[in-house]
């Protein structure tokens, strides 16, 4: 289901973007991966998520090459800073490195990849400096659990946080207990990573063997991967960022814009893959 997601800054994006972890690392896949990202952009997936960590810059480099033919203003580029680089000593060089690899002059969003040991107020102050310098439009965080978010929002300019990028998929729904409500109350969209279960073969197996999942996928004539994506994209306030390494996979993912699950189907999926009853620590990958 296609939805527009609005950030507190006023920027808006579609609820489906492109993840890029592990892209750019295998030279033999280079052309296919560039083609995958370009196919996504041409089909409307202008939000691209990368990080300095991914292949130690190789993902950013690949994205940089893929986006060359396009108007920068029509893209929504997100990268992430390592926690150990997220203080005044390193963040400005780290951001410059990211911009250089991407071949652009600014990021639409810069995220702290996970909570680290640099005082969070220092990171927020640096993000605000980068905004003033025009190197980033906005900033957010990733892998922040409830207490991390509460701490962040108590800081000077903490309310300028635009998103929390967290692990979320149909078979891992811990954020639905407390964290998601907290983000919603504070008007902060969720960016769901691993929306099609990433590299967790056991969980994938469980989903693939579920008769409920098979029946609903068959009804819509879609694959189980597409059903997983439809589930995440139908949540409110949520942007899914699957990684796809081929144009074919990207196109299948884009087709999910046209899928709408009924209330009854969502209830059946709730029964088959319920959210936990009590709060559990945030899962990370
Ligand atoms: N903030 C964080 O800490 C964090 C952590 C993990 C991930 N992320 C971000 O979130 C993105 C997504 O997470 P992820 O890459 O771990 O997992 P994911 O998107 O859930 O799964 C990626 C896997 O799904 C496959 N796939 C994609 N489309 C498909 C299709 N239509 N049919 C069949 N298979 C398909 C991909 O294979 P192919 O490559 O063969 O297409 C790849 O093996 C990452 O790329 C990254 O940008 C962020």
Which pLDDT belongs to residue 183?
Answer: 98
Residue 277 lies in a domain: no
Pocket test for ligand 1, best of 59, 196, 248 (most atoms within 8 A of CB): 196
Cα of 263 from ligand 1 centre, angstroms: 27
Phi-psi region of 134 (alpha: psi -120 to 50; beta: other; left: phi over 0): left
Ligand 1 atom at minimum distance from 197 CA: 20
Pocket test for ligand 1, best of 140, 242, 247 (most atoms within 8 A of CB): 242
> How many Cα atoms occupy the beta-carbon half-sphere of 88 within 13 Å?
6
pLDDT tens by residue, 60-111: 999 999 999 999 999 999 999 999 999 999 999 999 999 999 999 999 999 9
pLDDT tens by residue, 156-179: 999 999 999 999 999 999 999 999
List CB contacts of 159: < 8 A, sequence separation 6 or more: 8, 153, 186
DSSP codes joined into one string, 18-65 = EE-TTTTS-GGGHHHHHHHHHHHHHTT--EEE--TTGGGGHHHHHHHH
- 8 Å CB contact between 192 and 169: yes
Residue 281 lies in a domain: no
CB atoms within 10 A of CB 272: 16
What does each C-alpha distance from 100 to 69, 150, 152, 164, 195 come to in angstroms? 16, 34, 29, 25, 29
Decide whether any atom of ligand 1 lies within 6 Å of the 224 Cβ: no
Decide whether any atom of ligand 1 lies within 6 Å of the 12 Cβ: no
Which pLDDT belongs to residue 199?
Answer: 87
| CATH code: domain of residue 22 | 3.20.20.100
Cα of 143 from ligand 1 centre, angstroms: 16
Decide whether any atom of ligand 1 lies within 6 Å of the 3 Cβ: no
Q: How far apart are CA 166 and CA 79, in angstroms?
A: 14
Cα of 166 from ligand 1 centre, angstroms: 13
Residue 157 is part of which domain span? 4-272
Residue 83 lies in a domain: yes
For residue 228 the two structure tokens come to: 């997983």
Q: How far apart are CA 83 and CA 218, in angstroms?
A: 43
**Helix (H/G/I), strand (E/B), else coil: 192:** strand
Domain count, the chain: 1
Tens digits of pLDDT across the chain (285 residues): 999 999 999 999 999 999 999 999 999 999 999 999 999 999 999 999 999 999 999 999 999 999 999 999 999 999 999 999 999 999 999 999 999 999 999 999 999 999 999 999 999 999 999 999 999 999 999 999 999 999 999 999 999 999 999 999 999 999 999 999 999 999 999 999 999 999 899 999 999 999 999 999 999 999 999 999 999 999 999 999 999 999 999 999 999 999 999 999 999 999 999 999 999 999 998
Residue 282 lies in a domain: no
Which pLDDT belongs to residue 16?
Answer: 98
Task: Tell me 275's DSSP state.
Answer: P
Catalytic residues: 54
Decide whether any atom of ligand 1 lies within 6 Å of the 20 Cβ: yes
Residue 279 lies in a domain: no
């Amino acid at each position: 289901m296609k939805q527009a997601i609005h950030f507190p800054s006023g920027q808006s994006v579609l609820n489906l973007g492109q993840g890029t972890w592990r892209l750019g690392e295998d030279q033999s896949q280079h052309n296919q991966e560039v083609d995958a990202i370009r196919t996504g952009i041409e089909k409307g997936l202008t939000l691209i998520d990368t990080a300095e960590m991914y292949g130690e810059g190789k993902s950013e480099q690949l994205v940089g090459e893929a986006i060359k033919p396009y108007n920068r203003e029509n893209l929504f580029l997100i990268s992430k800073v390592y926690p150990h680089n997220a203080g005044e000593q390193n963040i400005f060089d780290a951001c410059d490195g990211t911009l250089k690899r991407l071949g652009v002059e600014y990021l639409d969003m810069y995220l702290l990849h996970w909570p680290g040991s640099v005082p969070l107020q220092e990171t927020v102050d640096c993000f605000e400096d980068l905004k003033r310098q025009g190197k980033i439009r906005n900033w957010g965080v990733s892998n922040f659990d409830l207490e991390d978010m509460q701490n962040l929002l108590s800081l000077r300019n903490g309310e300028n946080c635009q998103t929390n990028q967290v692990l979320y998929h149909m078979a891992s729904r811990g954020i639905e207990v407390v964290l998601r409500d907290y983000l919603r109350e504070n008007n902060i969209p969720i960016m769901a990573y691993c929306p099609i279960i990433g590299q967790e073969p056991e969980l994938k197996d469980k989903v693939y063997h579920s008769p409920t999942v098979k029946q609903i996928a068959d009804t819509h004539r879609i694959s189980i991967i597409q059903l997983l994506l439809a589930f995440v994209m139908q949540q409110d306030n949520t942007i899914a960022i699957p990684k796809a390494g081929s144009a074919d996979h990207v196109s299948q993912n884009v087709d999910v814009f046209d899928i709408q699950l009924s209330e009854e189907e969502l209830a059946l999926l709730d029964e088959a893959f319920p959210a936990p009853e009590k709060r559990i620590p945030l899962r990370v990958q």
